[in-house]
Amino acid sequence: MNSELTVIIPTYERHDSLRVVLEYWANFPVRLMVLDGSKRPIELKNEFANNVSYFYLPISLEDRLLFAQSKIQTTYAILSCDDEIFIYSTLERGMNILNNDTSVSAILGQTVGFSNYQNKLSIFPEYSTAKLLSITGDTPCKRLKERVAVPGNSIYYSLTRTETMVSALKFIGERYYSCPYVSEYIMETVLCASGSVLYIPNLMWLRNRCGDIVDNKEWDRSKLLVDWCKDYNNRPEMLKLEKSFERHLSSISIGGALTGGQIIQLFCDYELNCQNHKFLLHSEDFSIFCNEAEFKNAINFLNILALRERSSSAA
């Protein structure tokens, strides 16, 4: 199958959801790269063979992402979860924008969450009280500051060019950090350093809010970067992260305007801002911008994913 887009899907001990996600993507012109860190590999159906590259890698998430960067053979790439989906027409629109405007680094669309709220599929806006603004400053420093100024406006799961994704994955895979949010902030910093990040008002990401996070159980995800930095035991890691920011970003024109320590502090301040910001998680009053047939198709798969989450919780 010819495709310009690779969807990178790390997975861990969630094969039932993974099968649903692969089935969803089966009829779209994308390449899927599955990075499976589970205790045992999955047996995939033959119908998935056309657009799925499956790698059984019982190693850390960082090592799997580092492995992935050398395997992408398409023009564009995006990270995805093993229990969530994207709307292809929005990704297609994003690829057209990236193709026509080299100043743009990444594309982000409208995000909705879904859950098995009160034993029914519930769809609700994500980041509904945050302004989802494009990041268009004329320097990497300005763009990064724009990014952290808006609570909840995560750009981790943005569509980007392969060369930008490779830069980010090399950086993420360089070493393991005991703070689970470091990899997200590395990705977002690389995206901002590489160009503008455009928000388009089309439904793009359907985010699973049904169950618990499965991967990386050794991480305490309640410990934010700001807490991690306050712990003196993490000082050696933090110093390495500061140096890594400066080394990697010097090659993509951060311009020396921010030190590694200043970049870390920006994200610490961002987390504190998020803690003081009230987000509306459920609302009936919101609009979804998406092709009706494509949205109905997505809803069918969300129902299956939510049902599997309910079954897992009951077990």
pLDDT in tens, 130-156: 556 789 998 888 899 999 887 766 799
Query: 66 phi and psi, to 5 degrees?
Result: -65, -40
Query: In this predicted structure, what is the pLDDT of residue 47?
Result: 61
CA 254 to chain centre: 22
CA-nearest of 262, 243, 22, 65 to 156 is 65
pLDDT in tens, 48-96: 667 899 999 999 999 999 999 999 999 999 999 998 999 999 999 999 9
- Decide: pTM greater than 0.75: yes
* 267 has a pLDDT exceeding 60: yes
What is the DSSP code (8-state) at residue 95? H
Count, residues in the chain: 315
Q: Which two tokens stand for residue 35?
A: 């990075």
Kindly tell me the number of DSSP H helices and DSSP E strands found in the chain: 10, 9
Could you tell me where the beta strands, DSSP code E, fall in 1-128?
A: 5-11, 31-36, 52-56, 76-79, 85-86, 104-115, 122-125
pLDDT in tens, 19-41: 999 999 988 999 999 999 999 99
Cα-Cα-Cα-Cα dihedral of 5, 101, 183, 113, to 10°?
-70
Q: Can you tell me whether residue 181 is helix, strand or coil? A: coil
